[in-house]
Amino acid sequence: MTQWSIREEAPPAGKDYVSVSLEKDQLYDGPLVLVNRDHPVRTLARNIVALPSGILQASNQEEPIISLEATCLAQLSSLIRACRASTKIAVVSGYRSLASQKRLYENSLRDNGEAFTESYVALPGASEHQTGLAVDVGIYDGELDYIRPSFPDQGAAAIFKRLAAKFGFIQRYSDNKTHLTGIAAELWHFRYVGSPHAELMEREGLCLEEYTDFVRQYAYGGKHLYIETNETLSEIYFAEASAPSVYVPVPSARGESWQLSGNNGDGYVVTAAYPKAGSRHG
C-alpha cells in the first residue's frame, strides 16, 4: 500500500538555502505555468519534440506531426506503457503554435458556432497546447474527432485516468471547475504538471487555478509543504517574483534535487526531492 502523508511546517533550524538568479521571462515557463483567459502564454514553448513511432498518433490535417515538450512526452510514453494500451490510446493533439490555435478557433467558429467554440476551444494565446505541456488523447477506432475525441470512463481510458497523476498528469477540465477554468469538461485533455503536484491536486480536488493559489500559502520564510511517500520526501514552497531579475532560494544540502517553475503570474514554485534515508528533512 502506498504511503502518503502531508505536513505543513517550517524548515528545520540550520537548513541551508542558496539563491539562484533568474530572468523575468522564466516566470512564464515551467510545468506549473497557469494558462487561461486571464493568464495568456507569454513565451515560446521550449524543448518541443515529435512523437516517436511507438506512440499511436491520430491522423489529422491540423497536426500532421504531433509534438510535445520533451519531459511531458517521456512521461506520457511511460504512462501509456503502464496502461498496456499502445494500440488502444492515440494522441490526438499536442503542441500548437499561436497561428495553429488561431486557425483552429476561427474554423470552429465557422463550423460549430460561438457557444461550442467558447466551451471547447481556448482563445488563441490562452491555450495550454501552446506550451507543449497539454495533450489530447482518445480511444483509437480508426478515426477520432480532433476537438472532442472519445475517451470514456471505461477500459484503457479508465486505467489511463487512474494512473495519470502518478506520471505527473491531471485531467485539466472537469464539470465542477468550469466556473474557474472557463472551459467545459474535457475527458480527453490532460496537462503535465509533474510530481508530486499532480497527485496532490488529485487528492485535494484542486484544478490548476486553485492549486496556484494553494501553493502561495507556503512562501519561503514561513511554513513549507512536505509530502512523503514510500519512495520520496518532497518539499514545496513559493518564492515571490518582485523585480526584473530575481533571486530564488533553493536547498543547498547534498543529496537532494530541485526543480523550479514559474506560475505565469507572480512567482515561482520550488520542488525539492530528498533521499528517504537520514534525517526527516533530508
9 beta partners = 224
The two most distant CA atoms of the chain are separated, in Å, by 62
Sheet of 267-274, strand order: 4-9, 224-229, 233-240, 267-274, 257-262
Cα–Cα distance for residue pair 214/162, rounded to 1 Å: 23
CB 183 within 8 A of CB 209: no
- Dig out the grid coordinates for 51 from the structure: 512523437
Helical (H) or strand (E) element with 208? helix 208-216
Q: Which CA distances in Å does 20 have to 40, 239, 251, 259? A: 26, 12, 10, 12
Rounded CA separation 246/53 (Å): 41
- φ/ψ (deg, to 5) at 74: -60, -40
- 241/98 Cα distance (integer angstroms): 26
**Cα–Cα distance for residue pair 253/279, rounded to 1 Å:** 12
- 267-274 and 233-240 beta bridge pairing: antiparallel
Compute φ and ψ for 220, nearest 5 degrees. -55, 135
Contact predicate 77/54, CB 8 Å: yes
Of the candidates 216, 200, 205, 80, which has an alpha carbon nearest to the alpha carbon of residue 135? 80
Q: Which residues are catalytic?
A: 186
